[in-house]
Amino acid sequence: MGENDDSDIIEHHVEEEMEKKGTRSHAASSSFLGSVSPSDREGHSSTQSSHRLLAYSDALISIIATVMILPVAHTKMEDNEELRESVQLLLTTKIAVYLMTFLIVTVAWAAHIRLFQVIVRIDDCLALLNLACMMLITFLPYTFSLMATFPEKILGILLFCGCVMVIGVIQSVIVLYAFSRPFLLNEQIQISENQIYYKHHILKVIMRVPLMCFFASIFSFIFFELSYVLLAIVIFLPYISQCLKWCRSKAIGQVDETPDSMLFYTYLPNEPLSKERVEAFSDGVYAIVATLLILDICEDNVPDPTVVKEQFGGSLVAALQAYGPEYLAYFGSFATVGLLWFVHHSLFLHVTKTTRFMGLLNTFSLAFVGGLPLAYQLTHEFPRNSRNELEAIQISCVIIFFAGIFQLTIWVVALYNEQETLHPYVRYGGREHVFMLAKLALYPCVALGTFFLTCILSKFSASIFHLMEITVPFAFLVLRLLVRVGLALLRQIFCPDRPDPRTVVEEEDDETRVPFNALVT
């Protein structure tokens, strides 16, 4: 590199960051550079793009969100015990704790996204403050599970509220610090005249949660049931308030009271949520979940040399045969989680803007995905053709079904507002649209089919389930072909002699070609 490409590098830095926020910022990027006077930018050579800090935070949060599935997965179930009872025992405590922790952590994560949609550049001080914040967020699941295990003790409540309050205080310090150095802020706020108003609005929103936790911790000394009500309100507050606002705006058609330029901290269901971070968080969760079983296998299923010598007559093959079902469970769950990730990846490839509501649906989908390895492991822990095995298989199907259905719902929500949220070539009516729909519908349909088949042919449930596991990856591989054949068949059946649909399809073909033509010309 030469001497004279300094400007190139800085521009590259700025571009990189603009890139993250989609197409809208592209137009604004020149005004951003123009808005900051040279004297402002001088001496801030220590400011950095926040990209990697956020990627690291996403990785940490996604690990923490899925961690409470481990106590569920490691609950030992005896073969002769009825699965129904064990599952009900699990359902009441550990699964509920897992789901609640997942929700709490994703609420914290959404707050983190909102914060760093306002603050787009960081310096060393902000990076260190964020690490402190992360440390407390990773401690949240533990305090929550203490609270859930000892609901009548105030220590759990105090610890949980303490964590949330400290997180809130750190986030407020981050906001104050960033507003004292405006070059760290989003360019929209940077050029705005209402900077003070924004600061107060954001601080108000952030401090609401720790304040309620403060009251909850005080009430815990007097009347601890009330603190739980307060905490429940805290967690569901954004969803409640956004539902109410959305209903009101739909019913009365009322204009929102926040200024038009206030895109952040609105709690509207179509408030933008950084697509990149939703992807990074989902990638983290899928990656952890896909490897959950191999972690156990690596730790527990390397037989002890002395045991092999004494119990299996030195035959390693015989010793490993006992673990056969666990390898099968691992490959099955890895393939299913991997394919669900693949569908998620295809879906978000077509999405241009993620909204809060889509983020919520994604959270639900991920929460079910987190339960998959557990369900797969259960399918192999019981004797063949037992009632337990059948139920474990059916639970696996139900989990796959819901994980898939929520992905499909994201697509439906995106279609509902397709002008804003989807690339033009996948909008309603094109061939890519049909293909995407087929991809999203494959897992729910297969899961539903397997569920009902196992109800009818309960004797062959294990074989049906394994057959499903093996065929689905190949179905994805030839899906494009299947969709074409299916469309052709439908056309043959419903309108065998009308020429119109064919021309409609050709028109669609033209439509899908548009981007490339437009690019070339």
List the interface residues with a copy of itself, window 391-450 (CB under 8 A). Answer: 419-420, 423-425, 432
Q: Please, which residue, 212 or 374, has the CB nearer to a copy of itself?
A: 374
Tokens for 73, please give them: 């997965």
Shortest gap between Cβ of 432 and a copy of itself (angstroms)?
A: 6
Question: What is the C-alpha separation between 122 and 396, in angstroms, rounded?
Answer: 43
x/- mask, a copy of itself, residues 135-174, rule CB under 8 A, reads x--xx-xx--xx--xx--x-xx------------------
Exposure string over 434-469, b if 16+ CB within 10 A, otherwise e: bbbbbbbbbbbebbbebbebbeeeeeebbebbeebb
- Give buried/exposed letters for 332-366 (b at 16+ CB in 10 A, else e): bbbbbbebbbebbebbbebbbbbbbbbbbbbbbbb
Nearest C-alpha neighbor of 106 from the set 413, 361, 347: 361
Measured in residues, the chain has a length of: 521
Least gap, CB of 503 to a copy of itself (angstroms)? 19
Cα(273)–Cα(242) distance, integer angstroms: 14
Residues touching a copy of itself, count (CB under 8 A): 112
Taking CB under 8 A as the binding criterion, the range among 266-274, 334-342, 408-416, 498-506 that sits at the site for a copy of itself is: 334-342
Backbone angles phi and psi of 142, in degrees to 5: -65, -45
Look up residue 51 and give its two tokens: 């990209």
CA dist., res. 62 & res. 366, Å (int): 10
Q: Residue 232 contacts by C-beta under 8 Å, 6 or more apart in sequence?
A: none
Establish if 7 lies at the interface with a copy of itself (CB under 8 A).
yes
> Cβ contacts of residue 322 below 8 Å, gap of 6+?
none
53 to 112, contacts with a copy of itself by CB under 8 A?
A: 53, 55-56, 59-60, 63-64, 67-68, 70-71, 74
Smallest separation, CB 41 to a copy of itself (Å): 5
- In the complex, the smallest distance separating the C-beta of residue 7 from a copy of itself, rounded to whole angstroms, is 4
Q: Which two tokens stand for residue 71?
A: 């106590």
Nearer to a copy of itself by C-beta: 340 or 392? 340
Do the Cβ atoms of 50 and 120 come closer than 8 Å? yes
Nearer to a copy of itself, 381 or 432 (CB): 432
Q: Which of 341, 382, 411, 465 binds a copy of itself (CB under 8 A)?
A: 341
The minimum distance between CB 162 and a copy of itself, in angstroms, equals 13
Report 20-39 residues binding a copy of itself (CB under 8 A).
Answer: 23, 26, 33, 38
- Considering the complex, what minimum distance in angstroms separates the CB of residue 263 from a copy of itself? 16
With CB under 8 A as the contact rule, which of the stretches 5-13, 78-86, 194-202, 375-383 interacts with a copy of itself? 5-13
Q: By C-beta, is 261 or 315 nearer to a copy of itself? A: 315
Residue 187 buriedness (CB in 10 A; 0-12 / 13-18 / 19+): buried
Binding mask 251-280 for a copy of itself (x = CB under 8 A): ----------------------------xx
Among 29, 192, 258, 512, binds a copy of itself (CB under 8 A): 512
Hey, which residues between 444 and 483 contact a copy of itself (CB under 8 A)?
A: 473, 476-477, 479-480
